[in-house]
Homo-oligomer: A and B are copies of this chain.
Amino acid sequence: MSRSFSTTAVANSIRAKVMLYSQYGQPDQVLKCVSHKLPSSPKGKEVLLQTIACPINPSDINQIQGVYPSRPELKPQYEQSEPVAVGGNEGLFKVLAVGDQVSGLQEGDWVIPSNVNFGTWRSHVLSEESALMKMEKTISANQAATIAVNPSSAYQMLTLFEELKPGDWFIQNGGNSQVGRSAIQIGKKLGLNSISIVRNRDNLKELVDDLTALGATKVITEEENASKEFGKTIAQWTNGKPIKLALNCVGGDNCTNMARKLGQDGTLVTYGGMSMKPVTVPTTLFIFKNITAKGFWISANIQRIPGSRENSIKAVQKMMEEGDLVDVKMHENPVSADASEEEVYQAFQKALAKSNQGKQLVVFT
């Protein structure tokens, strides 16, 4: 289901609104919205884009805070007195116009950035064609706007570290996170069995039913994960088959107990540390069980493995097309692409303020 858009009449120039910062700090203190003129007729290999939607990812916030290892360079641009960078890494854009040397894109096409640090928090942008990846309009705009990070991370982690075959088992904590929910669905599509660890809660049954409906083989609580006794139940589920892969975005005891579930030669992959506690693994798991512990960071991984970004996006998109990977619940914060700087600023700040209450998207209408 593609979102439909009216093709904006292209005047001589366009006022692009850009969310930028000149120093690191809290987004509500350092971000501002400025506008600058873009030519309505791009030249050569340039492509003029209007933003359709862009998410607020935790790493976007960490970049602005200055605590994320990969960040866009602060540089002189947009006639600002100080060097600045533009917020946001993920987003979906539509092509308004193309230069005469652009070969693979045309007006109305959907594109996403080919790489990180694109600066997606803006209404319009003039980009080189080479920095863009065309998206077929076979999935929703919200899916396309958020395909590059969370579902792609889940796909890459499930296919990169172990050669998992249909029937194999993996285990993950943060089962209800964006990546966790993607991993459940992608895992099922790949024929894998999954055990997802979630926090206990009042409406646990609802969550278990929800994740099971997505394709989770088993959903367990942190308490069950911590129980030695419960290990026997898991061994019954897996019929003694070794669990080959564990995906960790929590750390601390949760991660340690999850690592104990791994079979001989299994791999523990850490991609987050929500508990703020480190990864602790008993010595014997390394020596006698030959566990490997690794990290996963999609920004580095797509640099390390050429083509991995495009490949995983294509694989994930196909799963979305076929209904194997369903829309994540997202909160849309709409604003007109023609709105004022202040209106665009408010839309982003509203989304940022709610960013710990579910996935936020700024949607340009």
Contacts and interface: CB of A to CB of B under 8 A. Distances in A.
A291 interface: yes
A62 to B, nearest CB: 11
Contact of A286 (B284, B289, B294): B294
Interface string A267-286: 00011110000111111111
A197 to B, nearest CB: 17
A293 B290 contact: no
B292 A296 contact: no
Contact of A251 (B251, B283, B291): B283
A272 B288 CA distance: 10
A219 to B, nearest CB: 24
Contacts of A270: 283, 286-287
Interface string A300-316: 10000000000000000
Contact of A272 (B283, B295, B297): B283
Nearest to A286: B295
A278 B283 contact: yes
A106 interface: no
Contact of A283 (B279, B285, B288, B300): B279
A256 interface: yes
A271 B290 CA distance: 10
Contact of A287 (B283, B289, B291, B295): B295
Contact of A293 (B273, B289, B293, B300): B293
Given A281-B279, A283-B273, A292 B290 contact: no
Given A278-B282, A280-B280, A296 B287 contact: yes
Given A270-B286, A286-B270, A287-B270, A293 B278 contact: no
Nearest to A282: B278
Contacts of A295: 283, 285-291
A280 B283 contact: no
A294 B281 CA distance: 11
A240 interface: no
B293 A286 contact: yes
A69 B293 CA distance: 21
B297 A281 contact: no
A278 B278 contact: no
A280 B282 contact: no
Closest 10 CB pairs of A and B: A286-B295, A273-B283, A293-B293, A270-B286, A287-B295, A280-B280, A69-B288, A287-B297, A278-B282, A278-B280
Given A69-B288, A272-B283, A291-B295, 19 more contacts: A251-B283, A270-B286, A270-B287, A278-B281, A278-B282, A279-B280, A279-B282, A279-B286, A280-B280, A281-B281, A286-B294, A287-B297, A288-B300, A290-B295, A290-B297, A291-B294, A292-B293, A293-B293, A293-B294
23 contacts: A270-B286, A270-B287, A271-B287, A272-B287, A273-B283, A278-B280, A278-B281, A278-B282, A278-B283, A279-B281, A279-B282, A280-B280, A283-B295, A285-B295, A286-B293, A288-B297, A288-B300, A290-B294, A290-B300, A291-B294, A291-B295, A292-B293, A293-B293
